[in-house]
Amino acid sequence: MKSGRSLAVTLMPWAGLVVGFLAAAFVHQFGSETTFDHCRTAVPGPLLVAGGVGLLACLLSGLASWRGMRGSADDARRVIAIISIGMAALFGFAILLPMIAALTLPPCFQ
């Protein structure tokens, strides 16, 4: 049990980078397939739900990286955590833009 906990503590500064990337990739893929495969029947609701889940994942992973930074005296872990927090914010912004576009642009706008 101790090795599993130490692995989680070791990987915590990387959470914002890894989970934020995966959330942004999932939301992008979900939006791309919905818009391009079924643009005549696409509605913004499912994209907004997927985007909300992605934003929540970015927020929680950024907070996990923040917690990993606070509890560490190691400079390398702090640098990784700071970069990871910034990337989680950037991925959250990248998720937010298609959500705004889904509300304002027609589905098949080219």
**What are the residue ranges spanned by the domains of the chain?**
10-104
Per DSSP, helices labelled H in the chain are 2-11, 15-37, 44-70, 75-104
Low-confidence ranges of the chain (pLDDT < 50): 1, 110
Q: How open is the CA angle 10-11-15, to the nearest 5 degrees?
A: 145
Q: Is the pTM of this model over 0.85?
A: no
Q: What is the pLDDT of residue 104?
A: 86
Q: What is the pLDDT of residue 41?
A: 66
Q: 52-80: per-residue pLDDT in tens?
A: 999 999 999 999 999 888 767 778 889 99
